[in-house]
Structure 1
Amino acid sequence: MTSPHINVLRAVDATGVNVAIHDHELFESPIRSPQDFADALGYQLSRITKAVFLRSKSSGHYAVAVCAMDRKLDFAAIADGLHQSTRMEVASAEELDRVVGYPKNGVSPLGLPSDVAVVVDEALLAESTVLIGGGAAGVELELAPADLVWASGARVAQIGVTS
């Protein structure tokens, strides 16, 4: 069984939020895409999130933006939501590893260094629960969106647009 990253587990323990852990390897059908994962759970794709590790083009500040898989990220809105004067861009896999220690396909908004900001798309607040990366590939955490915002110290903004 794949476990969440230790930093994610520590964040869950420290905040006391209620989570369910989902290991892709334990499903009967292979999980090769977010839609496969949603189908295996019987959920809408809007409950499965993507977390993208970003950096400010000029200031070098880092952030994680979280929105549903069926939406696109609006990079200008992310910068506004984070009160950045410059546009945000996707950081490299090397930066992700160096700054956070999560793999490209396992980015989590939990367990981040304190100087990495988190912004969550406000559309996620309409869901009963959402699924976020566990800091390791193939493992997700399910939790209430309000708990996600609280546990990650996230700002909420309209950062996703319909694909």
Structure 2
Amino acid sequence: MSTPADGNLSWTPAGERPDLLAEPVAAGLAIVPSARVAEIDPDLADTAAFCEAYDSPPSHSANCVVVAGKRAGEVRHAAVLVLATDRADINGVVRRHLDVRKISFAPMEQAVELTGMEYGGITPVGLPEDWPVLVDARVLAAGDVVIGSGVRTSKLVVAAADLAALPGAVVLDLTLG
């Protein structure tokens, strides 16, 4: 069954193509039974280029960013998932939810090392289980959404409801404005 998120790609059940997934993502697939994967040009992995090239609307594409916050010397990491059309309130809602004094996007090298995924392909599937996964409510409302696969050479499309079932997932209103 085709969905708006599918664009002009041919999707395959993700479990049939672990070669298109980062190792932690492949290991976490059982939690996202709806996951389908499609191979893409890695030069088109960034959201805007992907959506344009593959006719997948940004309203059905979700971006995952890794944030790091500190409180009393303790570093707390989390993943934040919002639609490509929205901006997350990192310094407000996310900072308060993590109960940290300061928060920022994790440096690229650190995000890659901690997740075992490629920069530009980081996804909430397969993240460390002790990390909160903050999912914006608008992502759930979008139905099927395109997310990273842990590598830049493919994307996943999943039922957004599966994202709310991920370990550590919390659904919040995360967007600015």
Question: Does structure 1 conserve the Cα–Cα contact (< 8 Å) formed by 2:67 and 2:104?
Answer: yes
TM-score, length of structure 1 as denominator length:
0.84
For residues 45 and 109 of structure 2, the distance between their equivalents in structure 1, rounded to whole angstroms, comes to 24
SS at match of 2:176: strand
Tell me the equivalent position of 1:160: 175
Q: Which runs of 5+ in 2 are unaligned?
A: 1-16
Aligned-residue CA RMSD (Å): 2.3
1:80-107 residue CA offsets vs partner (Å, 9 max, x unmatched): 3x34243421011221133212122111
For residues 16 and 105 of structure 1, the distance between their equivalents in structure 2, rounded to whole angstroms, comes to 20
Q: Which runs of 5+ in 1 are unaligned?
A: none
Give the aligned residue type for 2:38: H
Give the aligned residue type for 1:55: A
Structure 1 pair 154–145 and aligned structure 2 pair: CA distance change class (3 A): same
Structure 1 pair 160–138 and aligned structure 2 pair: CA distance change class (3 A): farther
Identity within the alignment, %: 22
Tell me the equivalent position of 2:29: 12
Alignment coverage as a number of residue pairs: 157
Question: Does structure 2 conserve the Cα–Cα contact (< 8 Å) formed by 1:11 and 1:151?
Answer: no
1:116 and 2:131 aligned: yes
TM-aligned CA deviation for residue 149 of structure 1: 1.4
- Which of 135, 142, 167 aligns to 1:127? It is 142
Tell me the equivalent position of 2:88: 73
SS at match of 2:150: coil
| More divergent stretch after superposition (67-76 vs 147-156) | 147-156
TM-aligned CA deviation for residue 16 of structure 1: 5.3
TM-aligned CA deviation for residue 31 of structure 1: 2.8
